[in-house]
Amino acid sequence: MNNHETPTTQSEDTKTHEAREQLFDHEICEELITHLLTEHESQRLQFKESPDVCYKLNVHFPSVYEISKRIAPEDFITQTAALYHDYGRIPQFELKGDFNDGTLGSEQDHHVIGYHAFLEDAPKILESCSDFTPLIINDSAKSGAISIIAKTIKLHGLRGKAFPEDFQNLTEEEARAVDLVSQIDDIANGVQCVGYLLREGQEQKKNQSNGGFIPDENATSKKVSPKVMELFRESTAFNRNAECKTYPDYYLFGAFLATRSLKNPATRELTKELMSLPTSVMEHEIIDGQDTLVSKKFASSIEAFEYIFRTQMEEKDANEAYNILLSYYHTGEAPNVSQQ
């Protein structure tokens, strides 16, 4: 044996081990994806009378998954984490009857509910996978895809908001997946929220749940709070519960989710493309004396937002909000004062 044989053998052993781990992760992801897509089918029947759950199952969950395929076409683990990111939403609804997270990071937050549910369910889902044992769930050095998916469920969208210790202890792969799925979730929320904003305003849903952000006396106001308009103009992140005082404020917060992704060069083109597609807005109408939930179709999300602005805001606020949205859509930047 010469001096060069040992390093070569070790290198080959390492490559073989890494290849096996990648195959194992891929098998895990395939099993998880197949399981959850099947589960969603049965949940669509179970919750067919709930518009909130139907929106999650028919719009948000599949859209986040499809966007992940566009943004990370070769990253099967991130795609699986994207499909599972809101794993806590259905058990949250079963427990509470709504999607109110309460305090971020609390036991009623869907991030926490989903994280615990996934760690409990994963061994049952994966028991048929080769080489899988429940012990892998609790061994972050060996869990690979499992750990990445679990951490993404718990931490997506929470960087700087909750669980600072967890973020500090993420591996490079876990951090990448958490941040990428957070970005994907932002794109989906910004494009899709137009569909439910008006219905929630009409039902005063946010005022009915704990932590509602709109005082009763402002429930019928059509005025946008000046600070919220300024935050929207700059596409600056803001605390919805702290800043929104009227439902028009809430509608602008929804539009901000879109402008934030339009402002970001990394997500701008895909967000523009998705906002150009046909969409619909759910709203209540009185038909034959009955309060009926109907769907209004629009050629794009831009047109749908314009409809909400012009029907739910004072004319001056509606014009300014629409000009800001158009500016971000066309240029990725806030409008100049002269554009108002």
Place of tokens 């629409």: 322
CB atoms within 10 A of CB 214: 19
pLDDT in tens, 115-171: 999 999 998 898 877 566 555 555 544 458 899 999 999 999 999 999 999 999 999
Q: Does 199 share its domain with 317?
A: yes
For β-strands 279-287 and 290-298, DSSP reports them as antiparallel
Q: Does 67 share its domain with 122?
A: yes
Residue 3 lies in a domain: no
Residue 115 lies in a domain: yes
Q: Does 202 share its domain with 289?
A: yes
Which residue range is the domain that position 259 belongs to? 193-339
Q: Count H helices, E strands: the chain?
A: 18, 2
Residue 287 lies in a domain: yes
Q: Does 76 share its domain with 180?
A: yes
The whole-model pTM stands at 0.82
Q: Tokens representing 214?
A: 């709109």
- Confidence at residue 4, expressed as pLDDT on a 0 to 100 scale: 46
Q: Tokens representing 301?
A: 């999300």
- Confidence at residue 256, expressed as pLDDT on a 0 to 100 scale: 96
Strands of 84-187 (E only): list them: none
Indicate the angle between helix axes 172-192 and 61-71, nearest 10 degrees: 120
Q: Which residues of the chain have pLDDT under 50?
A: 1-10, 14-20, 140-142, 338-340
Q: Does 232 share its domain with 126?
A: no
- Confidence at residue 153, expressed as pLDDT on a 0 to 100 scale: 98
Q: Which among 187, 204, 227 is the end of a domain?
A: 187
Q: Tokens representing 300?
A: 């794009």
What total number of domains does the chain contain?
Answer: 2
Q: Does 134 share its domain with 211?
A: no
- Confidence at residue 200, expressed as pLDDT on a 0 to 100 scale: 87
Q: Does 129 share its domain with 271?
A: no
Q: Does 35 share its domain with 162?
A: yes
Residue 7 lies in a domain: no
Residue 221 lies in a domain: yes
**Does an H or E element contain 295, and which?**
strand 290-298
Residue 6 lies in a domain: no
Q: Does 180 share its domain with 52?
A: yes
Residue 332 lies in a domain: yes
Q: Does 117 share its domain with 239?
A: no
Q: Does 146 share its domain with 209?
A: no
Residue 33 lies in a domain: yes
Tabulate helix, strand, coil % of the chain (nearest 5).
65, 5, 25
Q: Does 213 share its domain with 316?
A: yes
